[in-house]
Structure 1
Amino acid sequence: MNKSRAVAVVGTFDSKGEEHLFLKNRIEGSGLRVLTVNVGTKEPIPFEVSYDLYSLMKKNGNLDDGNRDKAIQDMIREGIKLIKQLCRDGKIHGMISAGGGSGTHLCSSIMRALPLGIPKVMVSTVASKDMKHTVGTKDITMIHSVVDLLGVNSISGIILDKAAAAICGMTRSQWQPDTEKRRIALSFFGFITKSAEAVKRELERMDYEVIPFHANGTGGMAMEELASEGYFHGILDLATHELADALMDGYCSGIGPGRLEPAPGKEIPRLVTPGGLDCAVLEFTRRHIPEEYRDRKVFFYDFRSAIR
């Protein structure tokens, strides 16, 4: 038993109290400590919690629960502040939540404030949908609840139990890299794999550690975010293909204004090449090629196709 490590169970306890109490009990039963954080925007809540942001914000006049959209945004803001402080103070070593559409949005927004490597598990009724706005650039583990969350039953209990086991295993894991090599971030994607492999071999021969990022929109932004946090000593931006997709509204277009822009005071050496700028990845199949692309070279993958 490792009682020194703790998991934050964060959720809308006003509507999903039974589910989060189940998670709490399963995690504590495995030997880890639990801090419960209520981020629901209504009352009452069915059990005593470690931090009740609803009551605290109502008392301080920081929550307008008559305006649902604003209440959720206010709760996200205060939830981020609390969870970051708990993490900085070493009081939590992982976070788990369960929710429907709104709960997933609220709790995953708080999760994304946690640093890389802190376990993050989100049980969600909408996990089978496009999760790019939910996960963003973070290492969040999404678990589809399969059934809706309306208390604990013989199916939801199985899912929640496995999710609790997952966060316990992740929180106990304390692997650390045993290298002190200088790190180079490398962007690439399928069309330039051979180039990326050759570059990686040469950099490793020079005793650098190469950290690759898939240039799929999110990958490029994750690279920029980690660079701003000081993870890298240099960047080889081999695949700037995301810029082409941004122009074409392609599959890899999810970049923000910070792509190719170093954070102030975080400038590091960066070499940029036009890898993949001659193609765009679009979502159409072999049987449904848009007419405007039929005279182009088309490379088929799965539900995606690349055009040149």
Structure 2
Amino acid sequence: MGTRRVYVIGTCDTKAAELAYACDRVRAAGADPVLVDVSTGDASQPADVAAAEITASHPDGADAVLGSKDRGEAVTRMAEALTHWLCARVDIGAVLGLGGSGNTALVTQAMRALPVGVPKLMVSTVASGQVTQYVGATDLGMVYSVTDVAGLNAISRRVIGNAAHAAAGMAKNTIPEASGDLPGVGITMFGVTTTCVEHLRKELAGKVEPYVFHATGTGGASMEKLADSGLVTGLLDVTATEIADHLVGGVMPCSADRYGVVARTCIPWVGSVGAVDMVNFAGRETVPDKFSDRQLLVHNPQITLMRTTPSENAQIARFLTERLNRCDGPVTLFLPLGGVSAVDAPGMPFHDPEADDALFTTIRDTFKPGPRRHLIELPLHINDPAFASAMADEFLRMLP
């Protein structure tokens, strides 16, 4: 690989001095900076990459960005253009962004599109608050600017300088591959599917390296980000509760793109319908009034579960099969006919054969088998050891 450069990104119409200082510190630390301007106004100093070059990367052309009279809309389109431009670079050693709320939203959108493992740092005035919308499911570091990014002073020079040195260090020092690493496999787990996942880990010991993700919305997104980044060999997607929250209104939803990575990458996928018997809310008092007559289970003071209905389970089934039917790679969906979670079993609070039957019947009716797409039904509970063994055997069969 050639020189790995540090891309310093910001708006040269309002943050020119701070950006220039960051480039100076990157250079002093021994790395090669590239100043990228994403201004939607007139820049006060030239950059290595002018805003005009970035806007030209917008799918609808530069006029889509510069022709907008609304600043918010222009910033949104500049973010789209930067995303396309940045993802086309082949010499990124690190990305360093500086700015307030607007530029933070702009630059981090492009950062999130980069693969996991590419160093990303954002010095921001909003880094001390809620940052989920900026970080998403990727390895993006945020540094609180302490003072506003509005001129250089004793504090801002120290904070920006530290971030610049960190970015330079990451660009100059790559992580060596470990010779003994096993193929990485993403696995989704929830408390009520833990037993299944523990059995899977035992079955796969010494064959693959499991990366377990808590299916909390962000967990599933993080796993799929690794798959998009080429950092996992396949997925054992045991737990699908994020779909229930997405469709019904829980607090741990997936996005509409859940399972999209399986179609994009064609990596081996073996999955099930773990924990779709529940929608997740916070404390009991947070459950919406419209669900007051529903079956609820207080898991702990912070988590309340709501049993899904037959109609909701049919919706969940269609969401899942619609996405799996788009996949051309090896896909196998397992149905545990004995129950989908620890609390969905005879004598347990969420045992509901009618709701489960709606789920399984809709999957049978809408899943499209193919040469590499299979549906396997087993008369087992999802946490039965034999169910995990069957999933593990199928996954190992798929591996190259």
Short-chain TM bin = 0.7 to 0.9
Shift of 1:295: 7.6
Count of matched residue pairs: 295
Q: In 2, Cα distance between the equivalents of 1:28 and 1:189?
A: 46
The TM-score normalised by the length of structure 2 is 0.65
Question: Does 2:242 align with 1:242?
Answer: yes
Question: Does 2:83 align with 1:80?
Answer: yes
Asked if structure 2 preserves the Cα contact closer than 8 Å seen for 1:39 and 1:53, the reply is yes
Q: In 2, Cα distance between the equivalents of 1:115 and 1:180?
A: 20
Give a deviation string over 1:129-179, Cα, whole Å, max 9, x none: 333322222211112223322112233333222222322232233112434
Q: In 2, Cα distance between the equivalents of 1:197 and 1:172?
A: 39
CA RMSD across the alignment: 3.0
Shift of 1:185: 1.4
Q: In 2, Cα distance between the equivalents of 1:169 and 1:23?
A: 14
Give a deviation string over 1:23-49, Cα, whole Å, max 9, x none: 111111111110110001111323x32
Which residues in structure 2 correspond to 1:1-308 (within 5 Å)? 4-46=3-45, 48-54=46-52, 57=55, 61=63, 63-64=66-67, 66-86=69-89, 88=90, 90=91, 92-175=92-175, 176-179=177-180, 181-205=182-206, 207-228=207-228, 230-253=230-253, 255-261=254-260, 262-264=262-264, 266=266, 268-274=268-274, 276-284=275-283, 288=285, 292=292, 296-300=296-300, 304-307=302-305
For 2:100, the aligned partner's letter is G
Q: Cα distance 1:45–1:300, how it changes in 2: closer, same or farther (>3 A)? A: farther
Give a deviation string over 1:275-299, Cα, whole Å, max 9, x none: x3344432338xx565839984323
Q: Cα distance 1:252–1:178, how it changes in 2: closer, same or farther (>3 A)? A: farther
Q: In 2, Cα distance between the equivalents of 1:193 and 1:156?
A: 46
Asked if structure 2 preserves the Cα contact closer than 8 Å seen for 1:95 and 1:121, the reply is yes
Q: In 1, Cα distance between the equivalents of 2:37 and 2:239?
A: 43
Q: In 2, Cα distance between the equivalents of 1:293 and 1:125?
A: 44
Q: In 1, Cα distance between the equivalents of 2:198 and 2:54?
A: 53
Q: Cα distance 1:98–1:293, how it changes in 2: closer, same or farther (>3 A)? A: farther
SS in structure 1 opposite 2:117? Answer: coil
The TM-score normalised by the length of structure 1 is 0.82
- Could you list the runs of 5+ residues in structure 1 that have no partner in the other structure? none
Asked if structure 2 preserves the Cα contact closer than 8 Å seen for 1:94 and 1:120, the reply is yes
For 1:161, the aligned partner's letter is G
- Could you list the runs of 5+ residues in structure 2 that have no partner in the other structure? 307-400
